[in-house]
Homo-oligomer: A and B are copies of this chain.
Amino acid sequence: MPSVPEAFTPPPRVLLGPGPSQVAPSVLRALSLPTIGHLDPAFLGVLDQVRAMLREVVGTSNELTMPMSGTGSLGMETCIVNLVEPGDRVLVGINGVFGQRLAEVARRAGAEVVTAECTWGRALDVDSLARAAAGRSFKLLCIVHAETSTGALTPIAPFRELADRLGALLLVDAVTSLGGVPVDMDAVGADALYSGTQKCLSCPPGLSPVSFSPRAMQVVAQRKLPAQSWYVDLGLIAKYWGGERLYHHTAPINMIYALHEALRLALNEGLSLRYARHRQVSHALGVGLEALGLRLLVPASERLPPLMLVEIPAGVDDARVRRHLLERDNVEIGGGLGPLKGKAWRIGLMGESCTANSVSTVLAALRDALISEGHRAPDDPVAAAQAQLR
């Protein structure tokens, strides 16, 4: 028999990539509380509190608001698979990898998918989507609120108007916005929304909050065929999370403890203060990066505070810089995805990672790495950034 490995001890990383973000000590402690049963009345009480707190953060009164038992992409699949039946027409706005993924998931659910290709690194453009629709009606309009591959933030409200003109439900990807940027689901009129826990909520990855409006749930209830996935069938799952407490699958107990604590931290901080913190710290990072002579990919007015895309200067090696940061400074930042691979870095300031210290840490480490790449770097981008926060 091969030998059994030693117990694992993670290196002391500073997580400043596109997620997971730094997890607060009290969330890690909650994660390690003794597991209890998924039908234990004490656990059902936790579920109810998680749902109530999620509604606060999402900005909704939707009864069906709960975390799915998987990571963010399972939330995406949950929304598509429950709302779409084979042959339904779906319009997807694409300005990055996650729009592409939405289109792919919808195709696999049998939808007739129409895509509107928008500029990567910019907000989605409502006129482009309207043109792509070409006067047809749609079952579903899908947009990405916060594009994790480019760092662009798209205002949701204009797409509600478009959805109305198309006769469509509006589905919103809020993976990288929830908890760091206002989502205001009910105010903007989204019908379905999914997110992840490992971004601005600063909970470890493993859960995907979703919320469905009563109108969306009516569509689910009136399906002609059952959802193609049993695991994410909301008609079945809602019976566990809702009144009947009917067993569907075993909930990931400890992950839900952690989400409970992460939501408590967010609400105790206060959502407005939390959003302001993300704006201010992110602004300071942008100033510092520009002081380093780097170009930001997204124009300031369309920039997603929790995640900033930086163009990699000519002659600088992407992988070598990120390895330098990780190995020498224990700092993780993200590489580019899709066409941005090797062309941009993704620096996340999400939830617990969104602090003045993170800004200093990443600017100092990046300056150092760039100098060792032969890049001309100014003396002190940190001072330029910190001046914004004092």
Interface residues, chain A, CB within 8 Å of chain B? 1-2, 4-5, 7-13, 15, 17, 19-20, 22-23, 26, 28-38, 40-43, 46, 49, 52-53, 56, 69-74, 76-77, 81, 101, 104-105, 108-109, 196, 198, 204-206, 226-231, 247-255, 257-258, 260-261, 264, 267-268, 326, 332, 337
A362 to chain B, nearest CB (A): 14
- Classify the interface of chain A: helix, strand, loop or mixed: loop
Query: Which residues of B sit under 8 angstroms from A12, Cβ to Cβ?
Result: 34
Q: Which residues of B contact A105 (CB under 8 A)?
A: 230
| Contact call A5/B264, Cβ cutoff below 8 A | yes
User: Which 6 residue pairs are nearest across A and B when measured between Cβ atoms?
Assistant: A206-B252, A32-B32, A204-B254, A73-B249, A205-B250, A28-B32
Residue on B nearest A12 in the bound complex, by CB: B34
User: Can you name 26 A-B residue pairings with CB atoms under 8 Å?
Assistant: A1-B267, A4-B53, A5-B260, A7-B264, A10-B33, A10-B34, A10-B36, A10-B257, A12-B34, A15-B35, A17-B37, A28-B32, A31-B31, A35-B205, A37-B332, A38-B205, A73-B231, A76-B231, A77-B230, A108-B229, A196-B250, A204-B255, A205-B250, A205-B251, A228-B228, A254-B258
Q: A83 to nearest B CB, angstroms?
A: 15
**CB <8 Å contact, B71 and A108:** no
Taking the closest CB of chain B, its distance from the CB of A67, in whole angstroms, is 11
Give the chain B neighbours of A11 by CB distance below 8 A: 36, 40, 42
A4 to B52, CA, bound (A): 9
Contact of A23 among B35, B73, B74 (CB under 8 A): B35
Chain B residues within an 8 Å CB radius of A49: 5, 8
Contacting residue for A35 out of B20, B231, B252, B260, CB 8 A: B20
Question: Which B residues lie within 8 Å of A1 (CB)?
Answer: 56, 267
Cα A23 to Cα B37 in complex, Å, equals 12
- Closest chain B residue to A15, Cβ basis: B37
* A70 / chain B contacts, CB cutoff of 8 Å: 69-70, 74, 231
Give Cα A196 to B72, complex, Å: 20
Q: Complex Cα distance A26/B7, Å?
A: 9
How far is the CB of A9 from the nearest CB of chain B, in Å? 7
User: A28 — which chain B residues lie within 8 A by C-beta?
Assistant: 32-35, 254
Q: Contacting A230 at CB < 8 Å: which of B42, B104, B250?
A: B104
Centre residue among A7, A32, A52, A254 by max chain B CB count within 10 A: A254
